[in-house]
Structure 1
Amino acid sequence: MKRPLYYLLCAIACTSMVGATMPMAAIAEAIQPQETTEQQAQADATSSGTDKAEDGTNTNATADSAEDSTATSTGTSQTDPADANTTDTATPGTAAATGAATTAPTPSLRARTNPTPAAISTTSQTTYAHSATATQNGFTFTVSWNDAPAGTATIFHVTQANGSSQAKARMDVPTYWDGGSQESVCDPSRPAWASYCSLGTAGHDFTFDFTASGTYRIYFYFMDNDRNDPQNDKGIYYLRTTAEVTVNDAARPSVTQIVNSAVAQCRQQTNGSEYDMALWLHDWTLDQLEYDHSLNWCSAESGLTRHQGTCESYQRIYSKLLDAVGIANGRITGNGHT
């Protein structure tokens, strides 16, 4: 009992001596830097952990990268031609192909992307090489454009005359053909192709990039009405004009030319049996494009020249290849897929 009491008295005496020689403010100052240093170290560690970013990019590359060619396209205009029958209409819902990767991912094929008819700022240009017009009720709508070199999007300048502030227009999905079957380059069910833009007094610009030799036809639709104001209702609910552009450029081969070239290579690298050719062409198709998760591009044109497409693109390309080598094939659809 005496020894514990002795230690307690010693501790009290030491505390009294320290208190007498060092004021409390000085004790606080001596302790504070240590706490601040510890807090700063903890904050630095937290900041360092936060600043470490992980690359979450989802890689869907399936094939070799492709180079874009450069050349100049030619264009012609045509006003309201009769509707052309369109084959292989795009199916709205599509599914991506699945498979286990066995090698390191190859560079992405998506060197250039034009998923929608993007609107750009109005240009000050007043003269164009080509134009197409549509008139109704004394009002005129005009689409004007110039030929654009390969790799550069063509600008379609849309204007109106004698219309109201309610006048607007939209660019429909381009169709493509090169002597074979006509196809929609994109899926017409996508909302982007149904959106109207106001024309105002300066007009509006739409863009599209032509990537293959052949003929493209684009419908432009106009509206100028105001049901809430009958006196100013111009009565234009459905007016159309057509821009037709023909591209003839060796640097931008047509779909048929690309298919024929692939078939010639297939015949050289296989034993000529249907099985070997079908397998070779199947693998070649997969090497040409990546699945378009925007569900916009859906054609052989987009798959072979833009390297993007939904299941429609894969089916159309493979069918063209099998037809070219004389292998019977068919099309199966279900649940929004093909």
Structure 2
Amino acid sequence: MGTTGEVELERMRVATCIVGSGPAAHTAAIYTARAELKPILFEGWMANGIAPGGQLTTTTDVENFPGFPQGIMGMDLTEKFKEQSLRFGTRVFTETVVRMDLSVRPFRLYTDTKQVDADTVIIATGAVAKRLDFPGGGEGEDGFWNKGISACAVCDGAAPIFRNRPLAVIGGGDSAMEEANFLTKYGSKVYIIHRRDAFRASKIMQKRALDNPKIEVIWNAEVLKASGNERGLLSGLDLRNTVTGEASVLEVFGLFFAIGHEPATKFLEGQLELDTDGYIVTKPGTTQTSIPGVFAAGDVQDKKWRQAITAAGTGCMAALEAEHFLQEIGAQEGKYSSLL
């Protein structure tokens, strides 16, 4: 039995271990379980500050996931993912993987109570949208998160509360330009709030935004506070000019953070190849990482699309690639199902 300090760890031996709790992780679990690989899945416990289920648990109505024509609550959707994984025999543990050793085979993964030896690993730990901290910007009774404030225009921009209303995007990179242009389909006007006097976005993305008649840029500005209306929805922002200190109030009914995402890869401690933003690098057209037998799916390796449905697709890919890898190394059915 392995130990960490004085804590004796339960040791497990599996063919496939999945780390994550969103659509990528559970799709991988469903496919590997149906392939009789007897996977285990660590869904984490408030890993990266988010409940099991990932970013979907921080959203309300999900209207763009196929199969739910009336929409579905984000938390309800993640529960259905988990139910389907369990139905096919996935063992799910509400524990956070705190470290891995990918230099040995089988690979070793550690939680506070377990050591898992796995022939293949699927990492689907996601990425967390960065938010700004100001009064009214968060969750809870006094916050307007999911009540007018979001970090995904593509996910939420078409919601009725945003249609034909003034909206705002915070950011200065390509994502901010793209989200602002996207929101002009729905909002009456879109403001880009940027704390500096120049964007860092590419010239072509800047031009698209600046040439759009429905977009107005508020330069050298920061949000001090978000306020709401009698319905409990966002209705305005208190701004401050970062150069002059002048205060102003901006009437908007939607605010979208576009200041980047933080991929959940720190626990890997540099064992896999990452890009400059910390995302896991995968071989184009696959979920294969820099270490054979380790696969990455979902937002932890996708900085472009970041949608539940694309994450699910890569979860499927990772499962099929893991199964193929096990076949290549001569894995036998049932060989990895027992505890050591």
Verify same fold: TM over 0.5.
no
Larger Rg: 1
Question: Hey, which of these two has a bigger chunk of strand by percent?
Answer: 2
**What is the TM-score with the length of structure 1 in the denominator?**
0.23
